[in-house]
A and B are shown apart, each in its own frame.
Chain A
C-alpha cells in the first residue's frame, strides 16, 4: 500500500530518540532484519507501505545479505512465500504494511495453514499509541488471523524482536508446519532497543512440544496390524514430503510389498514408475484406488488427513478396513476416520521405527487387482484423453507431452480447477518434491506467484506452472514480479474460455445451466508482452510439440497459451456425497 503522509507520521519520526543513541544499540527495524538473517533468511517477498517503512529503510542497508523481492500485490507475496517454502523446505517470509497490506496476505495465510506450509508473515502496524483508534490503515490483523495462523503475536516493544522472531521461525517450521504472523507497531520498528542486540535460535517452548518420535507401543501396534493384513493399502500424503521421508517410504513399500496411493499433495513422493505405485486418491483420482479403498482390509495412512475430497461419503468409506494412521498432528487422529492404530509422530521417524518391525511380504495378487481397474480406466478415459479425435487440443495431451519433454522431472505448479486435476492425472511425476498446488483451500490464482516462489527456492530446476484462464486473471499482476526478476518461470495457460470446473458441475448437477462461467478473455500474449515477457498461442495439435519445445528452450520467463477444448470434463469423478466405490467414469 502506498505511503500516505499524515500528521502522525511526522510526529513519530520527530520523537525518535536519535540523540541518545549509543553505538551498539540498534533500532527495532535493524533488529528485525538482523534476526531474519540469523534465522537464515535470504529471500523476502514483500511490499512496502506506511506502517512498515522503518523496516524498508533498514532493508536498504542489508541488500547484499537479503534478497527482497517486490511483488505486485501482497497476495502474490504470500503465495510466492508458500511456493518457496514448499520446494525448499525453508520458511517462506513475507513482509507487508498494516491494514490492506496485511489483509491482502490473508488468503495466502489461510492457504498455508490448511496445506501445512511454513511461513512467517511480518506486517507493520500503526504506532502503539494509536492502536484501537481507527487510525489510518489500522486493521486488527491479530484478530483477523487468529483462526488461520499457527501462531500470531503483536510486538510493541523493540526489545522483544529477536526473541519473538526466533519463536516465530521455530513454530512455523517445527511439528506440523504452518504460517505465523508477526504484527509490529511502527514505534517498535523505530525505537532503539534498550539492550545490545543478540539473537538466539528457539529450540523448544514450554507450551508447544510437537512429538517427533512416536511411542514405541503405538509403532508396535501398527506393525502388528500391518503384518496381519491380507489386503493392506498404503496412502501417503503431504506429510511424507514435509518430513523428507521419501526414502523411508520407499523402503517400507518395498519390504511390505503393499500397493501405495497418493493424495493430491502427496504426488511425486513416489515415482509413477514404481511397481507398487497404484495412482492417486479422491474425487478425480484413479478408478482402482478409489474402488479398492472399499475392499482393502487395512489402510496405512501416512501424513494425510482424510480430506472430504479423498473420502467422499464418510459413512460408506472403507468401513471394512482397519486403519493405521501415522500423523504428526494429534488433532488429526480420529478427526475424520477412526484409527485402530494411531502413530503420532514425524513420518520419517515413524517409518524408521516401523521398518524393522514389519515382515517382508508378497502382495502380488492383491496388487494385480488394481491393474484390472487400470485397464478399464485406460480404455475409457486415459487413452481417449491422450489421443483425442476432437479438433481442439485437450488438456490431457498438453500435460502428457509436457511430462514426456521434461522426463517427469520438472517442478509443476498447478492452479485450481480442471487443469489442476488434469495435471495431477497426466503428469508422470518421477522425481520427489515436484508438485505444488493449493490442495486444501483451493485458491484460484495460487500458481503464478507460487511458481515464481518455487523458482526462487529452486533456481536450478525447471519450474512450469499450469494455469487456467480464470485463475490466471486472479493474480495476473505477478507477471510484473516475474519480469523484473528475469527468472525463467514457464507459464502454460490452458485456455477454454470457461471457469471449467464450475461449468463441469453445472453441466453434471445443474442441468447445464451455465451460470456466470463463460469468460471473455483478454489477449494474454499481448498482456505478457506488455510486461516484457515473451509468449505465443498454440491452437492446433500439430503445433503443440514445437510450442512446448520453444517454451522449455527459453532461458527467460515464457508464457504459452494453449487453446483447449471448451467443454471437456474431468473423469473419473466421485461426485460430492457419493461413495468412493461409486466413482463415475463418464
Chain B
C-alpha cells in the first residue's frame, strides 16, 4: 500500500531482557514533557502506574498467519488492540509497544507488514533494544533471544554503564557492532537518553544508517593490510617480531602500474590468492611471489624471524598481510635500508568466525533488472527467510527515476519508490542482518540481477 502523504502513526517497539531498563525508559518517555501524546502497549508483566497517557496491557499472543509458515508469525493481540486504538478520536503521536524480556522481536515487527489494517494506519518506526551492560554477557553467547533483540534493533541503549568498566563497555560495543552494524548505539545510565534518539528514528532511513558507520558498507577482506613498494632486482628481508599469532598469511603480487584500476585488479587477485590453500614458509625461506601463492609465514617462538623476498623484475609490488604489520613490528629491509611503502591501506577484517549473527552490507554500482531481482529475492527469502532477521536497502532500478527503498523482516518484504535520484549518483546499497549469512553468495546473487 502506498501513501504519498505520510499519515501513519509511528510505532516504536521496545525490547530487552527483564531488568535491562525497559520500564525505566518507558516511564521516562511518559513523564518527560515532550508535548506528545503517546499510547503504550505494555506487556502482561509490565508494571507502569501512570495514567496521564494511555497504557494498555497486552497478553502476547503469537500466531502463524499462514498454515505452517513460521516466518509469518504475528502478534494477534496487537492487531486487535491497535485496530481498536486507531478508531479513537483522540489521535496519538506515537505508539510504543513493550515486549516481554524473552520475546523474539520478529512477530511484533512482522505484524506491521502482514496485516493490511496495520500497514495502512501505522508504520514501524524503529525497534529500540535496551541492553543491561553488566548482565548481557550472561546471555549473549547462548541466548537466541538476546542475539535476536540485538540483531533486530535500530537503536540500542547500553544501559547501566555506571556498573561497568569502560574497557568492558568498549568490548561490548564492539561485539554488538559486529552483530548489528546498522543500529545506533547510546551509552546510558538509568536509561537517560534524548527522546529524539529513540522516537521517530525513521528505521526506514537507510542513508542515516549508513552515516553511522560508513566503513560498514565496505566489503570484508581476508587480510587487514596492504603496502605498495617500489622494488629493484635483488633480495629483501621481511623481518617480523613476536606477535599475537604464531603464523601469518601473506601474498606478494606485482602491480602493473600505480593507477587505481591496476590496484583494484591486484586487490581482487589477492582475495583469490587468500582463498587458496596456504603453503608454509619457514624462517629463512623465500616467499612465493605472484597470484595464487598464499604464503603462511611460520614464526620462531622467540625473537625475530626473517623471510626473504627475491625480486627478479624491477617494479611496483603489493604486499598483503593477514594482520597489520605493526602487530609484529614487521618491516621490509633492502640491502642497506628499511623500505618504506609508497602507500598503505587497511582493510576491515573478516568477522565470519566470530559471530553467528552478523550484518552484511553490499554496495553495487549499476541498475537492477526488476524481474531478475524479484525472482532472486523470492528464492532467497524462501530459502533463508528464517535466518535473515532484517534487511534494508536503497536500489537503483532500470528505467526508474526514483530511488527504490525497501525493508523487510524475515520473509516479509516492503518496497516502494522514494524520492527521485536527482543529481545524486545512482547506486545500490543493501544491509542484511541475520544468522549464518554468506556475504559472497549474497553479493554474487545480487550482482547477477544487474542489467548487464
Partners in one complex: no
B residues sitting closer than 8 Å to A (CB atoms) are none
A residues sitting closer than 8 Å to B (CB atoms) are none
